Amino acid sequence: MRMRTHVSTPGRAHRAEGARDIHRALPEEVPVALVFNGTTQAVMMATPGDLGDFLRGFALTEAVVTDLAQISEIEIVEHPQGLEARAWLSEDRAHAMLARRRSATGPIGCGLCGIDSLEQAARPVPRVRSDLRLTARDVAGASDALRPHQTLHQLTGATHAAGFLVPGAGIAFAREDVGRHNALDKLIGALLHQGIDPASGAVVMTSRVSIELVQKCALAGIAILIAVSAPTAAALRLAEEAGITLAAFARNGAFDVFSHPHRIIDEAVHVA
């Protein structure tokens, strides 16, 4: 039986008008081991949903594979302590996982925890070359367009989301997780599994932009990254270097763009 993504928990609410018994939906957070050819590459705290997508996206954004065809089989196995997402790789890719072996549990706030050298933290990423364009109106409304897809967040108020914004068509896919980088891996994995090129749209995140999000976008070929909060300075430097358009503070009908602004078609943005 697959673990639930959330549970109902009793509590007591204290408000100005008094106190009352309540039930709240809280998201589950469990250890998920990402296992390739029998070897654990990472153990991440994650929401136990869309784990096949999580494994596919992680494999690509961590350079374990360069194409999903190099994964022959995926299996999700439940244990008392957590979950294993297992994949079997083609022989020519089996050695790639050894290059970025992760041995520590990664907490939800950090997508780089567990790497074993400073060089891996500063790994080079490919430069994204893309003719993708978005209107300023698309970017300004991106976080509002993502909100209806955040069903787990609406229940719990405690998860991040990554959405795929198609020019002129809105949010086509979204994935949620307690970890922002997990949500992005799940989204990228879902797109690849559906045969959709991640380069054909932009990614919208409900979080700040840290360096690992930019790394993952670059490896997936994503040219535009939109976030409701701020980027770190390191993330911005990498976005500039990688050719990624980084827009932040995208909420309330407005946004700031910090790198490669040529992909945003400038027009008046009116706040409703």
Catalytic residue among 98, 110, 121, 254: 110
Strand positions, DSSP E, 57-208? 71-79, 82-89, 105-106, 134-135, 160-166, 170-177, 202-205
Instruction: State the Cα–Cα distance between residues 27 and 159, nearest whole angstrom.
Output: 7
Place of tokens 């380069």: 199
Task: For residue 249, give the H/E element and its range.
Answer: strand 245-251
What sections of the chain are H helices per DSSP? Answer: 51-61, 96-99, 118-121, 136-140, 142-146, 151-156, 180-193, 211-220, 233-242
Q: Which residue has the tokens 């106190």?
A: 19
**Helix ranges restricted to H, 157-224:** 180-193, 211-220
Q: Is 110 a catalytic residue?
A: yes
DSSP letter assigned to residue 231: B
Q: How many residues does the chain have?
A: 272
Cite the active site residues. Answer: 110
